[in-house]
Amino acid sequence: MFEKLVESIDKYKKPLAFGIARVDLGQLNHDKVLQATYPVINWNENFGSAAVFIRSLIETGVEVDFEDSEFVAPVTKEFVDTALNYFGEELVAEAVGDKHKNIQVLKVLKDIFDEEEYDNYRICFIFEDTNPKSVESVYLKLYALSQRKVPLRSINLNGAFGVLHNCAWVGNVPIELDYLRANEIELKLKDAYPEVEYVDKFPRFLSHVIPDDNIRILDSSKVRFGAQLAPGTTVMPGASYINFNAGTEGPVMVEGRISSSAVVKEGADVGGGASILGVLSGTNGNPITIGRNTLLGANSVTGIPLGDGCIVDAGIAVLEGTKIWISEDEFEKIKEVNPEWNAEYKEYFKGLELAGLNGIHYRFDTTKGKMVAFRSRREVKLNEELH
Amino acid sequence: MFEKLVESIDKYKKPLAFGIARVDLGQLNHDKVLQATYPVINWNENFGSAAVFIRSLIETGVEVDFEDSEFVAPVTKEFVDTALNYFGEELVAEAVGDKHKNIQVLKVLKDIFDEEEYDNYRICFIFEDTNPKSVESVYLKLYALSQRKVPLRSINLNGAFGVLHNCAWVGNVPIELDYLRANEIELKLKDAYPEVEYVDKFPRFLSHVIPDDNIRILDSSKVRFGAQLAPGTTVMPGASYINFNAGTEGPVMVEGRISSSAVVKEGADVGGGASILGVLSGTNGNPITIGRNTLLGANSVTGIPLGDGCIVDAGIAVLEGTKIWISEDEFEKIKEVNPEWNAEYKEYFKGLELAGLNGIHYRFDTTKGKMVAFRSRREVKLNEELH
Amino acid sequence: MFEKLVESIDKYKKPLAFGIARVDLGQLNHDKVLQATYPVINWNENFGSAAVFIRSLIETGVEVDFEDSEFVAPVTKEFVDTALNYFGEELVAEAVGDKHKNIQVLKVLKDIFDEEEYDNYRICFIFEDTNPKSVESVYLKLYALSQRKVPLRSINLNGAFGVLHNCAWVGNVPIELDYLRANEIELKLKDAYPEVEYVDKFPRFLSHVIPDDNIRILDSSKVRFGAQLAPGTTVMPGASYINFNAGTEGPVMVEGRISSSAVVKEGADVGGGASILGVLSGTNGNPITIGRNTLLGANSVTGIPLGDGCIVDAGIAVLEGTKIWISEDEFEKIKEVNPEWNAEYKEYFKGLELAGLNGIHYRFDTTKGKMVAFRSRREVKLNEELH
């Protein structure tokens, strides 16, 4: 039966993504979804499970709209039973450990609903990667980013800020600010006012994602949900921060800020207090990538993309408009590791003109008062395909 | 009866501020007030309620001292009953939602005391804005600042550090360090040692204040109680911090430090890691104001007040003694947007000489090795009254 | 009997350090020690108690290995009873408050074991200060540092990172990441997923150490366990951080980063966002000491050791290779407060050549584009022994 259903997905629209979530609803406004917690997400995969879920929705009276870019429905006991039935006893029995995670979700829901049925579970399908329209689909996309199902900057999150609600977060639980207002007097006098840890539209990465064994995040406030951290990444608690849709693609030491849309490649080092500007803060909308093995010194500011094997000295700012002196000799050496760079020599280059180049050491010459660039001693592995 | 009492406030001294608080007492030293949590504060308002409260205190045997700058007394069941009686059934019935908040406080206390009477409620009056003398009056003032009842830098907090006790904070609860010491062995061996989140004399803003809907504070540790945040303010979790008696007067993006006594106006942007020096850290005691629409670049340091529409480039430091070069041409342009500035032209100005001027772009010229200032392209709205 | 035992320690090997800890074990892997919490540690002291402990272990069938650099054994009810018996009724009765803390530990354990015996208590001895081999001995050394039993940089922590396990920390409790993975679906759907505050191998200072009354730590994430804070130290929550085996030796205002192995002396001020480079981040392995009364300006970077009474201006970077101009006049003045400095005059000095010198003011001259050094106006108290 399951096999037939799997084939039947072709009758429906294949979802780009789907999953079942527990949602937190407003304390005052019970119709408001404040957060969606997914135990398992599916991104361009597991179409068999999608077929079972869609068929079970239809069979339990839900009209699934395949025309819209996304679809959200409540999860009912009837739906859970129907879907488990379609999967069949054998698969259900096998669904433990790393196997058949979508079925494991149903099994736990069956347990829960056998006790009492709740109204705070939802199933969400994304059919097209357009602007998200629901809290459930925003979260599904943030999961895809943070669980490394999709590359950074590859999916559409436009308008996410408008969809999410600003909440007071008490641990992993979002609370409506209006609820606190309505109950402030009683909560405070009865010593029951909650410990609000932050007020934001987004939750934190660690409230939803279990990092790889060799990832360290020394303070949960430093990584927003929707950020992506590759194995081997360490985020220190000083001045660091990684925004959503930003992060690392390999082992990186992060002691500075990786602003929205910025990406840092393997082996790079973001020094203490170093700032990588984001698309919302001074880069004219060009997202910044920091190349492999590149070092950003303590309290440096980087406003242009950097290639592999660069060094930005501590305390300096390399922005799009920064005028940087290069000697003829060093200009030639830089060309050697950037064969695709067709510039003519001139004394001063603007930061933007050096964007993305490999193997440059940026330094402020404290004897001449000039910002200078020269060939760094860091290794640069040239991309074979370019030669 | 209530009306008569309201008139009778003139017989007493009108309080500048008053409120009823639940206090946290020392775990070892039960006479020590560690924190005062006010569900409602009154600042130069609601004198009718003040009259009822004062009259009820007197009637229940409390000698109210009107000669001192402040007065604190325990709240008893008798006091609560007497005050509710003075307010009268009609007002008491009306006191729900946004109406008659002081009466709501009494109603909740009546509920509590009907079960059991507690000794950790206090009523506090401030008659004069002199140095605070009690934990209760310090907190009343911090509430006035953080709830935007008074402008920043407008009230007297001298000596507050001497009044408050240094505590270990577990959630919203202050714990005496001596209590932890006395019980360390038992708490640790029995797996009951509390999670201490910070050790300070001041609590955090979010432990006492419900921010406006469009305020975001991504990490509660970043805003001390006594700070003031205008609607539209966002405080990021990287390197930011807002101290008490400091904050914003309009929508501001805060990714840097607003030190004690610093004020940032609407539309300004405090870049990632930017430092605004405080009165305790290098400004010779002159508090700094950052004007409207002014941009402080990432990792910049600002040690002088800035007017509207200024830009401080990323990574530079503009201090009182910094020597800044201005061309004659730009000098004239700066004068245009600062008609009240009577300076004569010279090549180099010290930072302090440019304090408070509008429309200046501060930049470090990386070809000449000079700090320069010129007319920024940011809009400056000249104060009409000055023309 | 106790006296005899005390003498008998000479028969055994005197431990450098010892203590009894409650350990947190893995949720999945019950043999894995994730954390060791010591109510009391002994460092080169209390050899009488050591003798009792060793004797009691041997008597209860434990083979103590004195040949290895450290020894760890489970604490049993029998051990506790035996040890209490050796101490004798009189000492046991006296053991309250500040007296006989090791006996207090046994008394609390007796209480606990009288209810039920647990397998998560350990006794740990360190006989030699070599690379630690167990979680228990790493923690014992971190306690020694954080409780100021030993100076910073004085003990061997090589390999500690390899011994400790990376955990998800929920309050003071470490949780195996694998446990979260194995239970993610159920925890998330049943609304029981814990609030993970950080993921690291090390816990936080405040989870283990009660600071002195005049120490303030405004955010627990800012100080790693193994850091050392002298009385009078304040750690602000902006961009600050103190790593393990780093810290302060006197009253210091910390608003910046004190990286691993860096030490800051009394009266110094680490300005907002200031970075002191660590042995792992750009100092070629030379640990940095910041002298008494020295001021590091906001967003400055210091990559060399500094003597007493120095000033590093806000926003500048003084690194080993930074070229710094000194006038002949100022060179002489600097020599006056550094009589042991045998340098010959030259125009430019590298940062490393000025390492450790007293009374230098580092400034960037914004008119000439030069980094300059001159005699600071800060007081320098010359070390008497050098004259």
User: What distance in Å separates the CA atoms of residue A236 and residue A255, rounded to the nearest whole number?
Assistant: 5
Residue window 302-361, chain C: list those with CB within 8 Å of chain B: 313-316
Please give the pLDDT value at position C387.
41
Are residues C252 and C317 both part of a single domain?
yes
Q: Which chain B residues touch A282 with a CB distance below 8 Å? A: 271, 297-298, 314
Q: Which chain A residues touch B219 with a CB distance below 8 Å? A: 197-198, 221
- pLDDT category of residue A3 using cuts at 50, 70 and 90: confident
User: Which residue's entry shows tokens 């005899």?
Assistant: C4
Are residues B244 and B337 both part of a single domain?
yes
Please give the pLDDT value at position C281.
56
Enter the ipTM. Answer: 0.95
Are residues A108 and A176 both part of a single domain?
no
Which residues lie below 8 Å from residue A205, measured CB to CB, with a gap of 6+?
A146, A211, A217, A220, A223, A224, A225, A226, A227, A229, A242
Please give the pLDDT value at position C13.
85
From residue C142, give the alpha-carbon distance in Å to each of B320, C43, C150, C201: 43, 12, 10, 13
Q: Report CB contact under 8 Å: A314, C315.
A: no
Q: Report CB contact under 8 Å: B315, A325.
A: no
Q: Which chain C residues touch B299 with a CB distance below 8 Å? A: 273, 299, 315
Are residues B278 and B189 both part of a single domain?
no
Residue ending a domain, choose from B89, B123, B158? B158
Residues of A annotated catalytic, as ranges: 255
Average pLDDT of the residues in A332-343: 96
Are residues B127 and B61 both part of a single domain?
yes
Interface B:C, Cβ pairs < 8 A: 148
The CATH number for B16's domain is 3.30.70.2010
Which residues lie below 8 Å from residue C74, measured CB to CB, with a gap of 6+?
C119, C121, C122, C123
The secondary structure of residue B386, as a DSSP letter, is: G
Are residues C192 and C291 both part of a single domain?
no
Are residues B181 and B252 both part of a single domain?
no
* CA nearest to A197, candidates C311, C221, B296, B323: C221
Q: How many domains does chain C have?
A: 3
Are residues B258 and B327 both part of a single domain?
yes
Average pLDDT of the residues in C53-58: 97
Are residues C54 and C118 both part of a single domain?
yes
What is the token pair recorded at B135?
A: 């934990």
User: What distance in Å separates the CA atoms of residue B143 and residue C97, rounded to the nearest whole number?
Assistant: 39
Q: Report CB contact under 8 Å: C301, A314.
A: yes
**Helix-, strand-, coil-residue percentages of chain A, each rounded to 5:** 25, 25, 50
Nearest-CA distance from A340 to chain C in Å?
A: 32
Express each pLDDT in C266-323 by its tens digit. Answer: 999 999 999 999 876 555 678 999 999 999 999 999 999 999 999 999 999 999 999 9
Size of chain B, expressed as the number of residues it contains: 387
Per the CB < 8 A criterion, the answer to whether C175 and C148 are in contact is no
Are residues B220 and B338 both part of a single domain?
yes
β-pair partners for A22: A37, A121
Instruction: Please report all neighbours of A, defined by 3+ CB atom pairs within 8 A.
Output: B, C
Are residues C90 and C220 both part of a single domain?
no
User: What distance in Å separates the CA atoms of residue A265 and residue A380, rounded to the nearest whole number?
Assistant: 13
Domain that holds residue C183: 166-203
Q: Does C14 touch chain B if contact means CB atoms closer than 8 Å?
A: no
- The residue of chain B with its CA nearest to that of A203 is B218
Q: Report CB contact under 8 Å: B299, A368.
A: no
Average pLDDT of the residues in C128-155: 98
The CATH number for A268's domain is 2.160.10.10
- The one catalytic residue in C78, C255, C340, C385 is C255
Q: Report CB contact under 8 Å: A193, B172.
A: yes
Please give the pLDDT value at position A1.
64
List alpha helices for B23-116, DSSP H: 47-59, 77-87, 89-94, 101-115
Nearest-CA distance from B331 to chain C in Å?
A: 17
What is the token pair recorded at C72?
A: 């760890």
Q: Which chain A residues touch C166 with a CB distance below 8 Å? A: 213-216
Are residues C9 and C58 both part of a single domain?
yes
From B214, B298, B365, residue closest to A277, measured CB to CB:
B298
Task: Indicate whether C68 pLDDT > 60.
Answer: yes
Express each pLDDT in A254-286 by its tens digit. Answer: 999 999 999 999 999 999 999 999 876 555 678
Is residue C48 included in any domain, yes or no? yes
Per the CB < 8 A criterion, the answer to whether A86 and A3 are in contact is no
Measured between its terminal Cα atoms, the distance across chain C in Å is: 54
Is residue C161 included in any domain, yes or no? no
User: What distance in Å separates the CA atoms of residue A299 and residue A297, rounded to the nearest whole number?
Assistant: 6
Measured between its terminal Cα atoms, the distance across chain B in Å is: 54
Render each residue's pLDDT in chain B as its tens digit; 387 residues. Answer: 677 766 777 777 899 999 999 999 999 999 999 999 999 999 999 999 999 999 999 999 999 999 999 999 999 999 999 999 999 999 999 999 999 999 999 999 999 999 998 999 999 999 999 999 999 999 999 999 999 999 999 999 999 999 999 999 999 999 999 999 999 999 999 999 999 999 999 999 999 999 999 999 999 999 999 999 999 999 999 999 999 999 999 999 999 999 999 999 999 999 999 999 987 655 567 899 999 999 999 999 999 999 999 999 999 999 999 999 999 999 999 999 999 999 999 999 999 999 999 999 999 999 999 999 999 988 776 555 444
Task: Indicate whether A25 pLDDT > 70.
Answer: yes
List alpha helices for chain A, DSSP H: 2-8, 47-59, 77-94, 101-115, 135-146, 160-163, 177-189, 328-336
Please give the pLDDT value at position C127.
98
DSSP H or E segment with residue B137: helix B135-146
Is residue C116 included in any domain, yes or no? yes
Q: Report CB contact under 8 Å: A171, C282.
A: no
Please give the pLDDT value at position A122.
98
C78 annotated active-site: no
Pairing of strands C263-264, C247-248: parallel
The CATH number for B199's domain is 3.30.60.70
Express each pLDDT in A104-143 by its tens digit. Answer: 999 999 999 999 989 999 999 999 999 999 999 999 999 9
Average pLDDT of the residues in A54-76: 97
Please give the pLDDT value at position C134.
98
If one counts every other C-beta atom within 10 angstroms of the C-beta of residue C80, the result is 25
Please give the pLDDT value at position C356.
97
- pLDDT category of residue C1 using cuts at 50, 70 and 90: low
Residue window 67-126, chain A: list those with CB within 8 Å of chain C: 97, 101, 104-105, 108-109, 112, 121
Please give the pLDDT value at position C177.
98
Average pLDDT of the residues in C253-265: 97
